[in-house]
């Protein structure tokens, strides 16, 4: 599995912890995020993640900023990207099961690091249910 990850200054510490966690599982991670806590513009670090998912160069993306909102909005500008802002395991599971989310947006200032790791695991271990949800997901992309 290949995952692209990106973050702004609010998500740097979370990103490093997520990368370490994913590598213990044998997952390949491409880091597009800033490696410092110096203020940066989140779109500069989120667009490359979304582009990787859009072009299928990565199976999934993980994006992190303070609220998760700006990153989520940025990622969802890309065709075929279904980024979900998740702050609980339950919302994360539904984003995968019902919406076939392919990017996880994490609000670093609102959840703990242990919660984040649980959310990442839930995201990666939950399958899309297809069925009635597939018809709905197909209606998300406006390029058709």
Q: What is the C-alpha end-to-end distance of the chain, expressed in Å?
A: 29
CATH class of the domain defined by 2-138: alpha beta
Q: Are 17 and 121 in contact (CB under 8 A)?
A: no
| Cβ atoms of residues 120 and 112 within 8 Å | no
- Is residue 143 scored above 70 in pLDDT? no
Query: Is 28 within 8 Å of 3 (Cβ atoms)?
Result: yes
Pick 127 or 133 by higher pLDDT: 127
The string of pLDDT tens digits covering residues 11-51 is 999 999 999 999 999 999 999 999 999 999 999 999 999 99
Q: List, for residues 52-73, the tens digit of each pLDDT value.
A: 999 999 999 999 999 999 999 9
pLDDT on residue 108: 98
Q: Three-state SS for 106?
A: strand
- Do the beta carbons of residue 68 and residue 105 sit within 8 Å? yes
Active site residues: 65, 98
Q: Say whether pLDDT at 144 is over 60.
A: no
**What rounded mean pLDDT belongs to the chain?**
94
């Amino acid at each position: 599995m290949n995952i692209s990850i990106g973050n702004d200054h609010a998500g740097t510490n979370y990103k490093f912890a997520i990368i370490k966690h994913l590598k213990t599982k044998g997952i390949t991670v491409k880091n597009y995020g800033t490696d410092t806590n110096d203020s940066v513009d989140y779109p500069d670090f989120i667009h490359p993640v979304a582009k990787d998912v859009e072009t299928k160069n990565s199976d999934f993306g993980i994006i992190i900023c303070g609220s998760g909102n700006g990153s989520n909005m940025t990622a969802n500008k890309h065709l075929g990207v279904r980024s979900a802002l998740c702050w609980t395991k339950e919302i994360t599971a539904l984003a995968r099961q019902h919406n076939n989310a392919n990017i996880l947006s994490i609000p670093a200032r609102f959840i703990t690091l242990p919660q984040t790791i649980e959310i990442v695991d839930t995201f990666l271990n939950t399958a899309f249910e297809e069925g009635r949800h597939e018809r709905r997901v197909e209606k998300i992309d406006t390029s058709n």
